[in-house]
Structures are given as structure tokens and as C-alpha cells.
Amino acid sequence: MESVRTLHVQDDKDGRVLLAVVAHELRTPISTLANAAAILRDVVGTNQVGVAALQLIERQTRVLTRLVSDLVDTTRIDTGKFSATFELIDVTEVLRWAAHTCKPAMQSRSHNFQALLTDGPLYVMADRDRLTQVFVNLLDNAIKYTPRGGMISVFATAEGAQAVVRVRDSGVGISDDALPCVFELFSQVATTKPMSNGGVGIGLALARSIVNMHKGTIQVRSEGSDTGSEFTVRLPLHSRRF
């Protein structure tokens, strides 16, 4: 069975201070990488090796940028500086954009992807950028823990008065005793299988905080090792009036 391990720091406060310091220190080198990649794009031309290398640099730079954003937002939540602008949005549009953002990473691992979205919009009152963070983090988690050639699926539908989104993967799965811990800061699935780097356990904790801020819920289920996992987000539906 796969379990969840926690990265230990002296205490929670120290860990969050460390996050803030790391995020600050990473901003400059990431910005430098992005600028260098932009310059290289004009240099490599149509050279296939150069183009492939440049695409790799750009993809990993985007990953680092998202990681820093998550680090910053995690510290902002604790200090009460985490802001959100709520507006009427369509959840299916946000899901499509999140899938588009994660498409290069899925392609790099030869994942199969399917999106089964309800006909018509699913309107909720939400912060578009924050909700995008949630779905990108859930997809990124599925990518990390799903072997090459595995399946990742996204479902969106209305159930009663809720918009329900499910992100399902055919990855390593999670043991019963580990399920309650997956949304804790610094927790990550421990696996001996050759997976992508599991990260430091920030994305899912941030996703839970954002979903809670939207008066929704997020849950995970898995039947155990090698059975994959499914994350379910429920948000209050909004009845749009024209």
C-alpha cells in the first residue's frame, strides 16, 4: 500500500516562514530563466534539438512559477492577506483552461486524457484565478503519481444544488490510513515506484484552503495501491439571472 509521508520541520510556524523565504529567493532565478528562454527562442530558429530543449526549459519554468505562486499563497493564507475577487463564472471554462495549462506535462509522460463535461455551463460565484489553481494542482498531482501511458480523467456535472468536479487517475493510489492526511501541508504520497518528483506537499493543502474559501468541499478516495485516486470538488451552484 502507498502511504503518505510528512516533511518534518521544527514546527508549523517555522515551516511557513521557510516557505516565505524560499519563495522570495526563487523569484529572481525563475525570472532570469524566463527571460533567457525568450532570447533563445529567437536564436534556435527551426533547429529541432534546440526547439526541444527550449520547450523543456519553458515547461519547467512554468512549473517553477506555479510552485512559487503556491508557496506565496500558502503564507498569505496564514497572515490573512490571501485575497479573492468573486464573480459569476462557468466551472467548465475554468476546467478547460486548467487542462490546457497541464497539457504539456501530460504529453511529456504520454498520459491519456479525457474530459467529460456536462452540456451547458455550471455557474458558481468564485475567483477565476484561485479556482484555476485548484484544478491545476489536482491535475498536477494526478500527473505526478500516474505512470507513463496512464489515464487521467476530468468529470464535471451538476448534482442538486452543487457543481461537482472529479479528477480521476490510474496512478499509484493511496492507502486507507493515508487518506486523511493528503490535504495536510508538507504531506505527500510515499511510493517506491518510479514516479515523477512528488513535490513537498503544498498543492493539495492550498487547494483545500481555496475550496473552503469558496464554501465548498474537497474529498479524496482510493481503493489502495495501484488503484488510482479520485478527488472530488463540490461548489455551490449559482442560478444565473439574465
- Could you tell me the maximum CA-CA distance found in the chain, to the nearest angstrom? 55
Give CA–CA dist 197/144, Å, rounded: 7
Give CA–CA dist 62/197, Å, rounded: 16
Give CA–CA dist 235/218, Å, rounded: 9
Query: Among 143, 224, 136, 215, which residue's Cα sits nearest to residue 179?
Result: 224
Give CA–CA dist 183/192, Å, rounded: 21
Q: Residue ranges of the alpha helices (H) in 85-216?
A: 91-108, 128-144, 203-213
From residue 80, give the alpha-carbon distance in Å to each of 75, 77, 98, 112, 216: 9, 5, 26, 39, 19
- Which DSSP state fits 181? G
pLDDT at residue 88, as a whole number: 96
pLDDT at residue 85, as a whole number: 86
Q: pTM value? A: 0.75
Of 21-30, 69-78, 190-199, minimum mean pLDDT range: 190-199
The SS3 of residue 42 is helix
Find out whether 84 and 199 touch, Cβ atoms under 8 Å. no
Does the pLDDT of residue 34 top 50, yes or no? yes
Q: What is the CA radius of gyration of the chain?
A: 18
- Which DSSP state fits 200? S
From residue 34, give the alpha-carbon distance in Å to each of 5, 42, 59, 70, 175: 33, 13, 10, 18, 39
Summarize pLDDT for 71-130 with one digit per residue, the tens: 777 766 666 666 778 999 999 999 999 999 899 889 989 999 999 999 889 999 999 988
pLDDT at residue 6, as a whole number: 43
What are the grid coordinates assigned to 14, written together? 517555522
Does the pLDDT of residue 230 top 90, yes or no? yes
Does the pLDDT of residue 242 top 70, yes or no? no
Q: What is the mean pLDDT of residues 16-21?
A: 65
Question: Of residues 18 and 129, which shows the higher confidence score?
Answer: 129
Does the pLDDT of residue 205 top 60, yes or no? yes
What are the grid coordinates assigned to 197, written together? 518528483
Query: Among 34, 19, 138, which residue's Cα sits nearest to residue 72?
Result: 19
Q: Over the chain, what is the mean pLDDT?
A: 82
pLDDT at residue 91, as a whole number: 97
